[in-house]
Amino acid sequence: MATVTLKNIRKVYPKSHNTNKSNLKETADGVLAVDDFNLEINDNEFIVLVGPSGCGKSTTLRMVAGLEEITGGELYIDDVLVNEVAPKDRDISMVFQNYALYPHMTVRQNMEFPLKVQKKSRDYIDKKVEEAAEILGITEYLDRKPKALSGGQKQRVAIGRAIVREPKVLLMDEPLSNLDAKLRNQMRAEILKLRKRINTTFIYVTHDQTEAMTLGDRIVIMKDGVVQQTGTPQEVFDSPHNLFVAGFIGTPQMNFYDGRLVEDKGRYHVEIKDMKVALGKEKTERLKANGVKSRDVTVGVRPEHIVLSEGENVLRSVVDVSEMMGSVVHLHVNVDDQDSIIIVPTIQLKDRSLVKSGAEVDFTFPEDVIHLFSKETGNNLEY
Amino acid sequence: MKKKHSLGYWLMFVLMTLIAFVSFFPFFWMFLSSFKTQSELLSMPPTFFPNNFTTANYTQVFKQMPFTRYYINSLLTSGLNTLVGVISSSLIGYVFAKYDFPYKNVIFLVVLACMMIPYETLMPTVYKMMVGIKWTNSYKVLTIPYFVNIFGIFLMRQFYLDLPDDYLEAAEVDGCSQFEIWARIAMPMANSTTSSLVIFLFMASYNSFMWPLISVDSRKLFTLPVGIASMIWDRGNQYAMLLAAASMIIVPVCILFAFMQRKFIEGMTSGGIKG
Ligand SMILES: Nc1ncnc2c1ncn2[C@@H]1O[C@H](COP(=O)(O)OP(=O)(O)OP(=O)(O)O)[C@@H](O)[C@H]1O
Ligand SMILES: [Mg+2]
């Protein structure tokens, strides 16, 4: 149980000869893997760091753990500056992607290890290990060596080893990425349950946005070492602050169209090809507050917000492929050579021919699901 | 599960058996011959099994020289040298593999260079040094120069280079100090490589002859190789007795090997010894 505060945290890796060019900014001393990271994590909060490979998630986590030196900025755990504090004195524990179970120890010895290092009493150790094994359902494997466990079981042991100590902060670096899809879903649910049973602040790293959305109280979306947006899953889904976040969160991906925002006597409307959509009161007010004038924009709309329409004011498209998902159908359509995805509830598909490729569909969307991004910066014009 | 073995397998099997036999034969002959009289041993044609079985050679070994003393000297010094050598190799190798410090590579190169100089050429210098600090003719000179072994450092470093950092980092967040990480995680994980090193260092010390010969004069400090050589110089070649002594000398090595064998072989095959 603890608060964690990251203030202007930076990480510069010294240049090495073999690093090929990456998206990262370079400074005189090396590559900037994490830049100006600010976050206040509340007691008992579950924070998820998410982003594509190489964006600096692990680096950030390892700085919190104390495994990586902090180049700049301040890190506080419970209001104590810990930049120079050794990992063992930070009262954190960590679950590694490849489990890192000690191969020469049995499961029980692995789980005991952190407590033994702390020289706790035998009774206390036994009690804690049994409790953790109980929670994770690994009691029957306690006397096996890690070699004789399946991936999912190893992962449980790794989590067990991390929770026996009741750390202030529990760090997890892509703990589920070595598991197959089914097991991953199952473990995800278990982590949610675990979270209810133990009182700890979680920082969880993943590149999987579904994991991030389902687990996190708040999500931190990173790209190229820079935080793009921090917010609850709902916030980042409903109001992505830029194109990257909009595209990263949500599957299938948000559709983007080139369009034009037109301001006319204090009212706004958006034009995409022949379609015109007038914006409602809320959006208008936010745009006004930001002083947005008429301009070219990128318009973003999520596939599930698109509705098929047969009226006049629509976008016309041709179906490429359609995927039957059961309760919904994913239509991959072409709008003037631009790909879009439309999700249609199966129940609405009376006309079966729609599902065939080559069919023509017209669609539109309500004004309140539109996201408007600057063409230059990619930032959301409303925020 | 039954599996049909190929012709290659059987050829290999026969070849291995042959090699094993050829390697083992001299030891077997030595052991049998230690129960022969000197005259039978030198007789032509040679006998394989002793005609007149005698244990006199064994009693003579203890009569003609302080064999027990030599034995204890050898075991004590080799044991200590092995223990300290393994720990120092492991620690130093670990530091070279897992820590960064200025001029690390240069220092390691210098260390390696030392391995390339034959020991014999260094011996006079080391001897003069020992004379200078008045260590000759003492247990110190039989042990301390063996405490650091460059091949051992190299071997352990090689192992630790291949050891994923994740284990060490896991230990670090689990609350270990830097020393504990080595002692409780890295060192135990190096088990198989360490076992090969134990055998290597023990043999190196147990068999060493030149250094104890020149650095020690007192009979009380003689180790087995020197003690036996001195007996030959004093009383000439008594082959039958020598074989009895030799049969007893190899016992600790056999025991050590039997203990370490499985791990030793694991170490040989699991990337322990490279280059
Ligand atoms: N020891 C290092 N030396 C130099 N550069 C490094 C080092 N470790 C990481 N980097 C670089 O820092 C950047 C961020 O790495 P990091 O491991 O934090 O990414 P990540 O977000 O965890 O990615 P992934 O999802 O692939 O694990 C990468 O571009 C990487 O190449
Ligand atoms: Mg990573």
Q: Is the pLDDT of residue B201 over 50?
A: yes
At A151, the pLDDT band (50, 70, 90 cuts) reads confident
Determine the pLDDT at residue B41: 84
At A312, the pLDDT band (50, 70, 90 cuts) reads confident
Ligand 2 centre and the CA of A74: distance in Å? 22
Helix (H) or strand (E) holding B71: helix B67-98
- The structure tokens 């005991």 sit at A112
In a domain, B259, yes or no: yes
C-beta of residue A208 within 8 angstroms of C-beta of residue A250? no
- Residue B204: give its domain's CATH number: 1.10.3720.10
Domains: count for chain B? 1
Determine the pLDDT at residue A322: 86
Determine the pLDDT at residue A21: 56
Determine the pLDDT at residue A23: 66
Task: Give the nearest partner residue to A102 out of B172, B173, B185, using CB atoms.
Answer: B185
- The ipTM value here is 0.83
Sign of the alpha-carbon torsion through A176, A178, A182, A183: negative
Return the CA Rg of chain B: 23
In a domain, B218, yes or no: yes
Determine the pLDDT at residue B13: 92
Q: Which ligand is nearest to the CA of A207?
A: 1
Distance CA A374, CA A260 (A): 10
Q: Between A and B, how many CB-CB pairs are < 8 A?
A: 56
Instruction: Please provide the average confidence, as pLDDT, over all residues in chain A.
Output: 89
Domain of residue B261, residue span: 57-273
Determine the pLDDT at residue A157: 93
Question: Which stretch of B127-141, B200-214, B248-262 has the lowest confidence by average pLDDT?
Answer: B248-262
Q: Is the pLDDT of residue A20 over 70?
A: no
In a domain, B7, yes or no: no
Whose CA is closest to atom 25 on ligand 1?
A: A53
In a domain, B25, yes or no: no
Which of B168, B173, B184 to probe by mutation at the A interface, max A CB count within 10 Å? B173
Instruction: Please provide the average confidence, as pLDDT, over all residues in chain B.
Output: 88
Q: Is the pLDDT of residue A377 over 80?
A: yes
Q: CB-side exposure of B99: number of CA atoms within 13 Å?
A: 16
At B274, the pLDDT band (50, 70, 90 cuts) reads very low
Q: How many CB atoms lie within 10 A of CB B111?
A: 16
In a domain, B30, yes or no: no
Q: Is the pLDDT of residue B178 over 70?
A: yes
Chain A positions contacting chain B at CB under 8 Å are 65-67, 86-88, 92-94, 96, 98, 100, 102-104, 113-114, 117-118, 161, 165, 171
Binary contact (A114, B177; C-beta < 8 A): no
Pocket of ligand 1 (CB under 6 A): A 13, 16, 22, 24, 31, 33, 51, 53-59, 207
**DSSP tag of A215:** H
Q: Which residues of A touch B169 (CB under 8 A)?
A: 65, 67, 94, 96, 100
Taking only the tens place, the pLDDT of each residue in A333-357 is 998 888 899 998 888 776 666 677 8
List the domains of chain A with CATH numbers: 4-246 (3.40.50.300), 255-302+367-383 (2.40.50.100), 307-364 (2.40.50.140)
Taking CA–CA distances from A90, the nearest residue in chain B reads B173
At A332, the pLDDT band (50, 70, 90 cuts) reads very high
Mean per-residue pLDDT for B135-153? 92
Mean per-residue pLDDT for B49-71? 89
Q: CB-side exposure of A39: number of CA atoms within 13 Å?
A: 30
Determine the pLDDT at residue A19: 54
In a domain, B137, yes or no: yes
3-state helix, strand and coil shares in percent for chain B, rounded to the nearest 5? 75, 0, 25
Taking only the tens place, the pLDDT of each residue in A248-300 is 998 899 999 999 999 888 888 899 888 888 888 888 888 888 888 888 999 99
Closest atom of ligand 1 to CA, residue A49: 21
User: Is the pLDDT higher at A24 or at A116?
Assistant: A116
Binary contact (B173, A94; C-beta < 8 A): yes
Helix (H) or strand (E) holding B110: helix B104-116
In a domain, B21, yes or no: no
For every residue of B117-164, DSSP letters joined together read S-HHHHHHHHHHHHHHTT-SSSHHHHHGGGS--HHHHHHHHHHHHHS-
Binary contact (A96, B166; C-beta < 8 A): yes
Substitution site in A12, A24, A31 for ligand 1 pocket (most atoms within 8 Å of beta carbon): A31
Taking only the tens place, the pLDDT of each residue in A227-256 is 999 999 999 999 999 999 999 998 899 999
Closest atom of ligand 1 to CA, residue A34: 14
In a domain, B26, yes or no: no
Determine the pLDDT at residue A280: 87
